[in-house]
Amino acid sequence: MKSGPIKAWLAYAAAGFAATVAVGLVVIALTAAQNKSAIIVAAAIAYVLQLVAFAALLAVREKAHLFLAGWLGGMLLRFGVVGVCLYWTTRTATLPTAPLVLSLVGFVFLLLLLEPVFLRWDLRKS
């Protein structure tokens, strides 16, 4: 990646972290105490997942013939991670299933809504 996409990725990472922490704190305050660890784990997984998916999208944004494939690949990655987490939580008693999966989907959706803002961040005229 060139320095422009790196700036866009760093701006997305900072805004995504701030949004994830803010929403995570609100959700933790509004739910039962036993769900706290599941919400924190879901927020961390969603944040890392979105950073990877957004980096891949930035890598193909200038290639019109690959952009849709990159976007669909990111969506498949997101669905796959949610599916793996769902499978894992139904097989173990480590974390409660519903709070983890619902929080994961919520955080992924929140971070997904931020992507269009930062996709062409470095290409704007100042």
CA distance 117 to 102: 24
Reported as a single tens digit per residue, the pLDDT across 79-97 is: 999 999 999 999 998 899 9
Q: Where are the domains of the chain?
A: 3-117
SS3 82: helix
User: Which candidate, 45, 10, 40, places its Cα nearest to that of 122?
Assistant: 10
pLDDT in tens, the chain (126 residues): 457 788 889 999 999 999 999 999 999 999 999 999 999 999 999 999 999 999 999 888 888 888 888 889 999 999 999 999 999 999 998 899 999 999 999 999 999 999 999 987 766 655
DSSP string across 13-40:
HHHHHHHHHHHHHHHHHHS-GGGHHHHH
Reported as a single tens digit per residue, the pLDDT across 25-40 is: 999 999 999 999 999 9
